[in-house]
Amino acid sequence: MTVGFIGLGNMGSPMAHRLASAGRELVVYDARRDVVDRAVRFGARPATSVRAVADRAEIVLASLPSPQASIDVVAAVSDGATVASFIDLSTVGSEVAQRNHDTLAAHGIAALDAPVSGGVAGAQNGTLAIMVSGPPAAFESAKPLLDQLGRPFFVDEKPGAAQTMKLINNLMAASTLAATAEVVVMGVKAGLDPQVMLDVLNAGSGGTHASRDKFPRAVLPRTFDYGFATGLMVKDVRLYRDEAQSLGLPMQLADAVADLWESTLQDQGADSDFTSIVKVLEKAAGVTIGRREPH
């Protein structure tokens, strides 16, 4: 069976690489020629367009940066001559996922929305959490493929349900990173050692994924290269707020978190690493977080 992969960005490229390394017959497309050439070097075959992928592959996966990109890709995939199943690994929100499902169903193509969590490291190591919704039979058929990318969780057969789960996950991630950044900046301003703060947080009840992983990897060494863009996090927070608003829910915390992320987007730019949220708080406090030299 030929597998198609569309979108070879920071997440898509390592996922495609894993599938090719597992022996999958893989055909790929991205608008950027350099990332396609890199995929060819790890064993994939290039396609000249999205439609060309859908003409050659029975199952097509996509990892895309925005809801509109997903809509555009689905429109092209739906006319494919060979594709029978489409798996969207992107975070696009439940409304777009439902729209894509209807578009593909009209052409007899099974659709699964399958947003992922785990970052670039998870994509490289095959340890992603994959949230899936759509037809149960399509999920069972695709599960061996998804198992090569990480751990798939079947959320619900309702199209878009996995997107809701992903937005919940990412609002939590956005909130814990923002909160960890704020408290560590406060501690540094008060004269505390940031490494000692992280050690205490991680040993106690205040530990978060940010304090255990993001800060040691990308903030203390001042590399700010965790692998997820500020613009993408802002997009996900906005999608969460849109969905929560449509459900008539209060959003006091989400609104406060969103304000800080919007400030980070404005100050650091969409392409900055999302750990750069720290820099906005550092600037306001007049401090810099970093490893201290041992006494």
pLDDT tens-digit profile of 30-48? 999 999 999 999 999 999 9
The total of other beta-carbon atoms located within 10 Å of residue 273's CB is 20
Residue with the larger pLDDT of the pair 62 and 121:
62
* CATH number for the segment(s) 164-285: 1.10.1040.10
Structure token digits, residue 258: 């969103």
Catalytic residue selected from 166, 214, 235, 279: 166
225-234: average pLDDT = 94
Structure token digits, residue 219: 């903030």
Instruction: Report DSSP state, residue 274.
Output: G
Which residues neighbour 181 within 8 Å (Cβ) at sequence distance 6 or greater?
A: 210, 219, 277, 278, 281
**Beta pairing, strands 85-88 & 116-117:** unpaired
228-234: average pLDDT = 95
Q: Are 35 and 63 in contact (CB under 8 A)?
A: no
Provide the 3-class DSSP secondary structure of residue 131: strand
Which sign, positive or negative, has the C-alpha torsion 182, 186, 188, 189?
Answer: positive
65-77: average pLDDT = 96
How confident is the model over 108-153, as pLDDT tens digits?
Answer: 999 999 999 998 999 999 999 999 999 999 999 999 999 999 999 9
Res. 290: pLDDT tops 90: no
Which sign, positive or negative, has the C-alpha torsion 88, 30, 11, 23?
Answer: positive
Of the candidate CATH numbers 3.40.50.720, 3.40.50.300, 3.40.50.970, 3.30.365.10, the domain formed by 2-157 belongs to 3.40.50.720
**Beta pairing, strands 85-88 & 110-113:** parallel
Domain boundaries, the chain: 2-157, 164-285
Res. 295: pLDDT tops 50: no
Amino acid residing at 38: R
Which residues neighbour 188 within 8 Å (Cβ) at sequence distance 6 or greater?
A: 194, 285, 287, 288, 289
Res. 101: pLDDT tops 50: yes
Q: Are 61 and 6 in contact (CB under 8 A)?
A: yes
Which of the four pLDDT bands, split at 50, 70 and 90, describes residue 168? Answer: very high
Q: Where are the beta strands (DSSP E) in the chain?
A: 2-6, 25-29, 45-46, 59-62, 85-88, 110-113, 116-117, 128-133, 150-156
Res. 87: pLDDT tops 90: yes
**Residue 166 among the catalytic residues:** yes
Q: Report the Cα–Cα distance between both ends of the chain, in Å, rounded.
A: 60
How confident is the model over 188-199, as pLDDT tens digits?
Answer: 999 999 999 999
Structure token digits, residue 72: 């555009």
